[in-house]
Amino acid sequence: MKKIAFFDAKPYDREWFDRQNTKYDIRYLETRLTKDTAQLAAGCDAVVAFVNDNLDAEVIDMLYNLGIRVIAMRCAGYSNVDFKAAYGKINVVRVPAYSPYAVAEHAVGLLLTVNRKLQRAYNRTRDFNFSITGLTGVDLHGRTAGVIGTGKIGRAFIDICKGLGMRVLAYDVYPAEIAGVEYVTLDGLLTQSDVISLHCPLNEQTKHMLDKKAFAKMKKGVFIINTSRGALIDTEALLSALNAGKVRGAGLDVYEEEAELFYEDNSGNIIKDDLLALLISRPNVVLTSHQAFLTEEALGNIAETTLKNLDEFFSGRYLTNEVCYRCKLGKASESCHHNRKERCF
Ligand code: NAD
């Protein structure tokens, strides 16, 4: 039986993987994967990792030396993987889609919460404080949503925005044909949107795409929603824009420096990250702990696809959901074997 080192395992991961797993001996490890914990994969045949595991060149080399030849990411994003270091050594597979609705619905939830100040209303009524002063929001109907990245999640988000009666603008490096959506330049989106929601991957081009310059171009009173990756936003620039009243509210499921903090109970610890403390202290910021994916449907699909990805690897087949540094570059990279339905290497 093949042994799997499953890093950053939480009770809900176990529940959904154990329901479907019949073939593998899964070693659930509560710790994140880092250079200090990589050794725990000794004796295993594969590593299953998640969004805040560290898969830099050093860790990849350590895993390779332990005999690991496949890393199965149980997530869609892969900005934490050094693909150049893995190329030729370890095949990397992922779960490209498990429930775009889960993430899009959470993004809309953050928008509705931060607009109508539901987090504050909830706290007030729990204390029998029935004052509604200071809780005024805006009608979203008729306002403009600017969607950056119109892939699976962006489109699900767009559908909900249309249902709310919003006008939808979009920016994507690969524009598509989507009824009722007007593609504009990034600047066009920044200057015209009342709500800006991020649904593109994190890479060299998109890091800090919402920086000081971008915030300067936005409408006063814009809402910022980020369920993609924290580093898409320069947090200091966001804080300045919140302080200046330029940003009316921010709904964030991700944070640039989340890796050491998210998914753990840090309530008894002194948080040394002052930027995060400032963000959380703002009454017009709602921050959740990278949980947009967390629905039963998504967890079931993540387990199913990850196990299928491992089956493909161990039976020597083409890896449907493989990513390497060449094919992850996108449609411009025709040279990767993956495009010929072969393993990337
Ligand atoms: P997808 O691949 O279907 O869509 C991404 C879109 O972004 C594509 O249309 C692509 O062309 C576009 N894009 C790429 N580079 C761009 C750029 N520079 N500017 C504008 N657009 C660009 O991906 P998806 O499934 O919709 O997921 C989107 C992101 O959501 C993922 O990259 C991941 O970071 C994040 N995510 C978060 C959670 C969560 O729990 N918070 C869960 C899943 C995914």
Mutate to test the pocket of ligand 1, among 174, 177, 200 (most ligand atoms within 8 A of CB): 200
Across the chain, which has 345 residues, the per-10-residue mean pLDDT values are: 97 97 98 98 98 97 98 94 96 95 98 98 98 98 98 97 98 96 98 98 95 98 98 98 98 95 94 96 97 97 98 97 85 75 92
Domain 100-287 has CATH 3.40.50.720: yes
Q: Is the CB of 137 under 6 A from ligand 1?
A: no
303 SS3 class: helix
What pLDDT is recorded for position 336?
86
Å from CA of 255 to ligand 1 middle: 16
DSSP 196: E
The response to whether residue 170 sits with its C-beta less than 6 Å from ligand 1 reads: no
H-state helical runs in the chain: 11-20, 57-65, 83-86, 100-116, 118-126, 152-163, 186-192, 212-217, 235-243, 274-281, 296-314
Q: What is the distance in A from the centroid of ligand 1 to the CA of 137?
A: 29
Catalytic residue among 106, 256, 258, 338: 258
CA dist 148 and 17 (Å) reads 33
Q: Would the CB of 205 count as within 6 Å of ligand 1? A: yes
Q: Does the beta carbon of 148 lie inside 6 Å of ligand 1?
A: yes
- Catalytic-residue membership of 260: no
Tell which CATH classification among 3.40.50.720, 3.30.365.10, 3.20.10.10, 1.10.10.10 matches the domain 2-98+296-340: 3.40.50.720
Query: To test the ligand 1 pocket, which listed residue (8, 210, 228) has its Cβ within 8 A of the most ligand atoms?
Result: 228
Distance 3 CA to ligand 1 centre (A): 31
Q: Is 188 in the pocket of ligand 1 (CB under 6 A)?
A: no
Out of 229, 248, 326, 338, pick the active-site residue: 229
Closest residue by CA, ligand 1 atom 1: 151
Tell me the pairing of strands 46-49 and 167-171.
unpaired
Taking the centre of ligand 1 as the mean of its atom positions, its distance from the CA of residue 201, in whole angstroms, is 4
pLDDT for the residue 326: 87
Query: Which pLDDT does position 325 carry in this prediction?
Result: 87
Give the C-alpha separation, 68 to 89, whole Å: 9
Transcribe 53-71 into DSSP letters. S-B-HHHHHHHHHTT--EE
d(CA 160, CA 162): 5
From 8, 172, 253, 328, give the residue whose CB has the most ligand 1 atoms within 8 Å, as the site to mutate: 172
Please report, as a single letter, which amino acid is at residue 79: S
- Tell which atom from ligand 1 comes closest to the C-alpha of 293: 40
Of the residues 248, 290, 326, 338, only one is catalytic, namely 290
The reply to whether ligand 1 has any atom less than 6 angstroms from the CB of 197 is no
229 is catalytic: yes
Q: Residue 240, SS3?
A: helix
The domain segmentation of the chain, as residue ranges, is: 2-98+296-340, 100-287
Q: Tell me if 2-98+296-340 shares its fold with 100-287.
A: yes
CA of 199 to the centre of ligand 1 (A): 5
Active site residue 141: no
* Three-state DSSP state, 281: helix
Site to substitute for ligand 1 among 73, 80, 153, 186, most atoms within 8 A of C-beta: 153
